[in-house]
Structure 1
């Protein structure tokens, strides 16, 4: 799967032919969560608070790029 962005210890993947609603995958060594792009809410999965906080802060300014991907 294409990595869209890398953080320290985890990454963001956007899978273009994935199911609705539009979302991205937050993948780390011990977690994998699906985050809805429009609301930045967790759809399902596991995550750490630190990783989720970093991703939500980053994604708030990236919604157009994430949707385009």
Structure 2
């Protein structure tokens, strides 16, 4: 098989996957927590991580 044929086949497969996924697409709410509620503990944990942010993991520079 030539490289052009392989590229064409991959493009067709990718297009097919895109069409299939678009047909099966659900509302965005389904993607957030798989259609379920997160609950108090989950929301509290997520909020604490969001509020602390990446700065909680960055070490300050030590000056000599």
TM-score by length of 2: 0.25
Higher RCO (C-alpha under 8 Å, 6+ residues apart): 1
Greater strand share, structure number: 1
Report which of the two structures shows the higher radius of gyration computed on alpha carbons.
2
